[in-house]
Amino acid sequence: MTLALNTRAPAPDFTAIKQRQQATWASGDYSIIGTTLQIVGETLGEAVDLRAGERVLDVAAGNGNATLAAARRHAEVTAIDYVPALLERARQRAQAEGARVCFETADAENLPYDAGSFDVVLSVFGVMFAPDQERAAHEMLRVLRPGGRIGLANWTPTSFIGRLFKIVGGHLPPPAGIKSPALWGSEPRIVELFGTDAAGIRCERRFFNFRYRSAAHWLQVFRDYYGPTHKAFAALEPAARQALERDILGLLEELNVAGPDSLVVPSEYLEVVITAA
């Protein structure tokens, strides 16, 4: 007699993965890098046509790029993240500008708000890192009013950052069963996540240029301050760290469009505007 074997992989432990992620993003100091991405928040604010007085939620707000873009357009902004230290950086930036923003520590996969609480939900390179992608998308739609808009900026799989994720994952594999965050940068995945509850989805490919003195300068900054690379280098043995460094420097040099005296590396991202049904 032949027995059928259950080959289904066990479900990921999202709670444990999320705790690991929180520790990763709390390491280093993402705000050092995050502030350089402010232009993406401003561009997204225009893409979703933010209006004064609208109720806006910035999900996985980090140090507040989309938050500040919305506040500068006189929206009523709530910013959430599961890393309190990052929210504190965002709060300091808002205070410096005299912006009135509500900051709350919260999880993108379990938003503490009633259905239909917001006119606009934003996320700039944030919610894409939620381990349970379907749950995060569901929560963003749930708290959005009918006819409201979701605005996202997500690195694409083939972008510089998408390729960086693959390099880091090749040296330090991610938890089993987790979908790549860069899938949020593909139009088919966006349709899978939001299409059944959307009246319309508009995607546009854009580029952000990383501008540094050199490849070595970029590597030093990201090794010191960017949680995923900071943690990866800390977790590897010396020989493996050198191999990771070689691979990242090789990618930077391949994509550098500035010549030998500087570093400009374009990284594609998908700008997404979803109108709720």
Q: Is 222 among the domain residues?
A: no
Average pLDDT across the chain, whole number: 95
pLDDT value for 148:
98
- Using 50, 70 and 90 to split pLDDT, how confident is the model at 174? confident
Phi, psi of 48 (to 5 degrees): -90, 0
Residue range 42-84, pLDDT digits in tens: 999 999 999 999 999 999 999 999 999 999 999 999 999 999 9
What single DSSP character describes residue 107? Answer: B
Q: Is 167 among the domain residues?
A: no
Task: Let me know: does 80 contact 86? Beta carbons within 8 Å.
Answer: no
* Structural domain count of the chain: 1
Q: Is 195 among the domain residues?
A: yes
For 61, the domain range is 14-159+175-210+267-276
Instruction: Report the Cα 110 to chain-centroid distance in Å.
Output: 17
Residue range 180-219, pLDDT digits in tens: 999 999 999 999 999 999 999 999 999 999 999 999 999 9
Helix (H) or strand (E) holding 19: helix 14-26
Q: Is 245 among the domain residues?
A: no
| CATH code for the domain in which residue 201 is found | 3.40.50.150
Q: Is 165 among the domain residues?
A: no
Residue range 21-53, pLDDT digits in tens: 889 998 989 999 999 999 999 999 999 999 999
Alpha carbons 253 and 214: distance in angstroms, whole number: 9
Residue range 237-263, pLDDT digits in tens: 999 999 999 999 999 999 999 999 999
How much of the chain is helix, strand and coil, in % rounded to 5? 50, 25, 30
